[in-house]
Structure 1
Amino acid sequence: MKLFLHLCIFFSILFISLTSSYSCTLNDKNALLQIKKSLNNPPLLSSWNPQTDCCTSWTGVSCTNRHVTELTISSGKISGQIPAQIGDLPYLRTLDFSYLTHLTGNIPRTITKLQNLEILRLKETNLSGPIPGYISELKSVTFLDLSFNQFTGPIPGSLSQMPKLEAIQINDNKLTGSIPNSFGSFVGNVPNLYLFNNKLSGNIPESLSKYDFNAVDLSGNEFTGDGSMLFGRNKTTIRVNISRNKFNFELSKIKFARTIVSLDLSENHIYGKFPRRELTKLRLQHFNVSHNFLCGPIPQGGVLQTFEPSVYSHNICLCGAPLKPC
């Protein structure tokens, strides 16, 4: 009987120990409940029950060593603003509020308390106002996605001070002004740059010519001047899209990286002839130079003749396959 009693006590202690090692901390749980309350207790978060463990049964919550490290709330009827209590989850590494069309306001200052944050995705919401410069205080962020929102005003130059940043996605907003000069002096990685479908304008800083972007998309803005500094024979760029702008430079003088597989220069003021051999050596999967001021023969060879005639259309006098003979 005593042995049975001792075994019961032992297994009870073991159960309590195991349960406590996997259940979330009280501070994290309280912070999440406050976030739920601030968001008006939406049905999407109905699993956030105070009587259950937030690490094992709450929608969108993941934990490591009892601490909440990932919070993903997406594709639901959430109304209100990002709660200030978001800053009370100090171990958070991923914050993802996406496809929440009734999420309004701006990004709270308290977000800067999340010094372990690596992924910040606030995508396709109704957030508005300027992108706050204090985002740059998040020194561990590698991926920043603020796309498909209503942000206005200039791009904060301080984003260049984020040492681990690998991608900046602030496309499909209402941003104005030019690319900050500070983007010519990133303190860490050279991030993929997605600025398309905004209202940005002006010249690209010449200092960007020293960078070897893996991917850059500036399409659908009002940029002017010379965009050729994005190219270079010795670079390892894979994708470049500068379409639907007002760039003005001579195509024949451009040296292209052999690594480019996607190149869109359409709907600009690019002029001159095709470089004789440059483009025939590329293994292009996507290509478009339509709606420019190009003239002369399309070089034979490579994949240039495999594209539809439309990718060469609306130029001054391009000729040769796949267009009419010269």
Structure 2
Amino acid sequence: MKLFVIFLFYFFSLSLPSYSKRCNLKDEKVLLKIKLALNNPYHLASWIPDTECCNWYCVDCDPSTNRINALTIFQGNISGQIPAEVGDLPFLEILIFRHLTNVTGEIPSAIAKLSNLRMVRLSWTNLTGPVPSFFSQLKALTYLDLSFNQLSGSIPPSLSLLPNLAALHMDRNRLTGTIPESFGAFTGSSPPDLFLSHNQLTGSVPKSLGSLNFSRIDFSRNTLEGDISFLFGRNKTLEDADFSRILFEFDISKLEFPESLDTLDLNHNRLKGSVPEALTALENLQQFNISYNRLCGQIPVGGKLQSFTYTEYFHNRCLCGSPLPAC
């Protein structure tokens, strides 16, 4: 009898893992296909068949459904293309391939199937090809980061149709063409933070953007031109603005600024006029640069303006006053 009880205990102890396993079998098979497509990298060594895939490195499961809801592959020795099989994880909310410089190829169209995606970060890789317009179909997206790649072509105007987008990073690519006019008509309750720097964008910034209250904009290091004064105003909500190393040309003398502004970089443009008196009222201004422009006149005294150094003001046509030499 004692031996029979021991046998039963041993039998059921062996059987327990199969009953307690959370991992969805379909998701497990898809993940193993992804691992195989990436040539079985050591980074994914924990992805072993018939083990608890909810505990595998780089993945997370939703505790209410036990389905894979996050795939976050980051800083591994991984090469190849993003596998199309990622589109076969229907509950995925977070998709990250980041700091993987040997990941190449185009962004797979299979991602369009992932209607639950909230965050996509495909950054610091060597992805090529266009920015796919299918991202506009993923209405749950709040964060889209495609920065630090080799993407080319124009920016899809349809991205403005994303109702929940809070941040759009497409900086440090090879994008060409203009900033879409539609970006002045984002359908969400507030426009996303826009990071488009270090591309090859041309033309003027659409005036339609002036009707929205952006918090963060970075258009620096493009070949944009014209007047962007409509992006400023006392009633705006702008906090960080980087328009450096472009070709903007307008008179800044009478610009007004929101109290929220803490970063303003306008260096290396063709700005004219004098330093606006309104800048003295900005108590939150932490970073400021208007060097390499065509400004004249005395720098207003007050606020944070004298806390910045000579280098934030130098190389202007006839600017003077502290911290530059006296007029």
Equivalence for 1:124: 124
Equivalence for 1:222: 223
Does residue 291 of the first structure (1) align with residue 289 of the second (2)?
Answer: no
Equivalence for 2:35: 36
Shift of 1:253: 2.2
Task: Output the amino acid matched with 1:50.
Answer: P
Equivalence for 1:174: 174
Equivalence for 1:246: 247
> Structure 2 matches for 1:54-133, cutoff 5 A?
54-56=53-55, 58-64=56-62, 65-133=65-133
Number of aligned residue pairs: give it.
Answer: 321
Shift of 1:8: 5.6
Measured against aligned partners, the alpha-carbon deviations of 1:185-227 in whole angstroms (never above 9, x if no partner) come to 1111300000011111110001000111110000011110001
Cα distance in 1 between the residues matched to 2:258 and 2:274: 18
Equivalence for 2:164: 164
Q: Which shifted more, 39-48 or 171-180?
A: 39-48
Contact 2:234 2:258 in 1 (8 A): yes
Structure 1 gap segments, 5+ residues each: none
Shift of 1:161: 0.8
Cα distance in 2 between the residues matched to 1:176 and 1:248: 21
Measured against aligned partners, the alpha-carbon deviations of 1:270-291 in whole angstroms (never above 9, x if no partner) come to 1001223x00001210000000
> Structure 2 matches for 1:295-314, cutoff 5 A?
295-314=296-315
Equivalence for 1:27: 26
Shift of 1:59: 1.2
User: What SS does the corresponding residue of 1:171 show, helix, strand or coil?
Assistant: coil
User: What SS does the corresponding residue of 1:44 show, helix, strand or coil?
Assistant: helix
Alignment RMSD (CA, Å): 2.0
Shift of 1:14: 10
Shift of 1:51: 3.0
Cα distance in 2 between the residues matched to 1:232 and 1:94: 36
Cα distance in 2 between the residues matched to 1:203 and 1:130: 22
User: What SS does the corresponding residue of 1:251 show, helix, strand or coil?
Assistant: coil
Cα distance in 2 between the residues matched to 1:122 and 1:205: 27
Measured against aligned partners, the alpha-carbon deviations of 1:271-318 in whole angstroms (never above 9, x if no partner) come to 001223x00001210000000000000000111001111100000000
User: What SS does the corresponding residue of 1:136 show, helix, strand or coil?
Assistant: helix
Cα distance in 2 between the residues matched to 1:202 and 1:24: 51
Q: What TM-score do you get using the length of structure 1 for normalisation?
A: 0.94
Shift of 1:228: 1.2
Measured against aligned partners, the alpha-carbon deviations of 1:241-263 in whole angstroms (never above 9, x if no partner) come to 10000001111121111110110
Does residue 234 of the first structure (1) align with residue 232 of the second (2)?
Answer: no
Measured against aligned partners, the alpha-carbon deviations of 1:94-131 in whole angstroms (never above 9, x if no partner) come to 11100111111111111011111111000100100111
Contact 2:107 2:129 in 1 (8 A): no
| Structure 2 CA distance for partners of 1:55 and 1:320, relative to 1, 3 Å | same
Cα distance in 1 between the residues matched to 2:9 and 2:115: 44
Equivalence for 2:264: 263
Cα distance in 1 between the residues matched to 2:81 and 2:158: 24
Cα distance in 2 between the residues matched to 1:258 and 1:43: 50
| Structure 1: 4+ residue segments shifted above 3 A | 11-18
